[in-house]
Amino acid sequence: MSTAPVIGLDAVTKRFEAVTAVDHVSVDLVEGEFFALLGPSGCGKTTLLRVIAGFEEPDEGKVLLDGRDITQLRPNRRPVNLMFQSYALFPHMTVYNNIAYGLEMENCSKSEIEGRVDEMLAMTQLDALAHRKPDQLSGGQRQRVALARALVKRPRVLLLDEPLGALDKKLRGQMQLELKKLQHDLGITFVVVTHDQEEALVMADRIALMKDGRIEQLGAPEQLYERPGSRFVADFIGVSNFFEGRATGDGVETEAGDVFRGEGGAETGASCAIAVRPERISLSAPDRLEDQNSVSGQISDIAYHGQDINIHVLAAGSKNAVLARISAADDKSRSFSIGQTVWCNWRPEHGRILTN
């Protein structure tokens, strides 16, 4: 993967009357990367995708292709393909003809069309289904036809709006890996819109987490997960425990008077929170663990999730129960019971101090 930007967005803003759907977004999409636009419904993901594709003209800012301003370039002149949320396959055409359609419109030769369609059929594992019609396919297969149809034109960038939204959970998991492999094999830049944080974490090289038309944080999945820059990020990506309080310099003093050390900084006295991932919390009884942040409380709930056990602890001074996630394979996990008093412990480097 090179680091040359293929598409650049420079302070792009798009308004619909009173709504600012995209608000001064600047980002470079790198050649060959798998990029996820993640965020809650209504945060501007689809609008941003449509701006990149050329279906929406930004009110402010520029869209660049290889550094060249293409803000005014029509969609069909851009080396960019948008795969719609509904796959919009032609129902009366076979899989083969659905895929070939775009090339026929471009007046490619018959032999070139055959070669390229066959290649896409093989890549998306549709060879055996080439002569079926869309209504003779499963949801996952229709999804692959839509992909093949978008990719056969060899765009530099493929934009996918909630591509797996219509599939059930198990199939979605499988298609996530297929999409990722396909992207890797082809080396085409993929931009995938999703509201599913887990999906973004699994598939993407980089994630832009959006909120209210802006990019709240941009980075590799592990960066967003391990070093969230705000409560919104810590909450939207995965699950976090928040301990509210005031900054002391290298930590936070809670209203209950506990002092927790953590990573990141805040001005002394500023209102802030420490965010801790549930899997970073270990439970101990009767003693706390040495050299860790600790808070004690009573176990209020134990929930089995197969591979993990979620243990909720009602600690003094914490608004919500503290959530600790323990591997079910850990023998200690069976030693806890509801009503028991335990310590929740975590190492200082696993607490993120967040001010906003």
By CB under 5 A, name the binding residues for Mg ion.
46
What is the nearest approach in angstroms of ligand ADP to the Cβ of residue 46? 3
- Tokens 């026929």 appear where? 104
Q: Which does 55 bind (CB under 5 to 8 A by kind): Mg ion, ligand ADP, none?
A: none
* Distance of alpha carbon 187 from alpha carbon 266, whole angstroms: 41
- Chain positions 6 to 25 lying near ligand ADP, rule: CB under 6 A, are 16, 19, 21
CB under 5 to 8 A by kind: which of Mg ion, ligand ADP, none does 207 bind? none
Handedness of CA 118, 122, 124, 129 (dihedral sign): positive
Residue 19 contact, options ligand ADP, Mg ion, none, Cβ 5-8 Å cut-off depending on partner type: ligand ADP
Count, residues near ligand ADP per rule CB under 6 A: 11
Other Cβ atoms closer than 10 A to 111: 8
Q: Is 46 in the site for ligand ADP (CB under 6 A)?
A: yes
Q: Which residue is nearest to Mg ion (CB)?
A: 46
CB nearer to ligand ADP: pick between 191 and 266 = 191
How many angstroms separate the Cα of 41 from the Cα of each of 106, 128, 193, 206, 210?
36, 37, 11, 20, 10
Pick between residue 21 and residue 209 the one whose CB is nearest to ligand ADP: 21
For the CA atoms of 65, 69, 70, 71, what is the dihedral angle to 10 degrees? 130
Under a CB-based contact definition with an 8 Å cutoff, are residues 191 and 198 in contact?
no
Partner whose footprint covers residue 47, from ligand ADP, Mg ion, none (CB < 5 to 8 Å by kind)? ligand ADP
Instruction: Say whether residue 44 binds ligand ADP (CB under 6 A).
Output: yes
Tell me, rounded to whole angstroms, the distance of Cα 181 from its chain centroid. 17
| Cβ distance to Mg ion smaller for residue 159 or 353 | 159
> Please, which residues have CB within 8 angstroms of residue 110's CB and are 6 or more apart in sequence?
none
Q: Is 194 in the site for ligand ADP (CB under 6 A)?
A: no
Q: Interface with ligand ADP by CB under 6 A: which residues?
A: 16, 19, 21, 39, 41-47
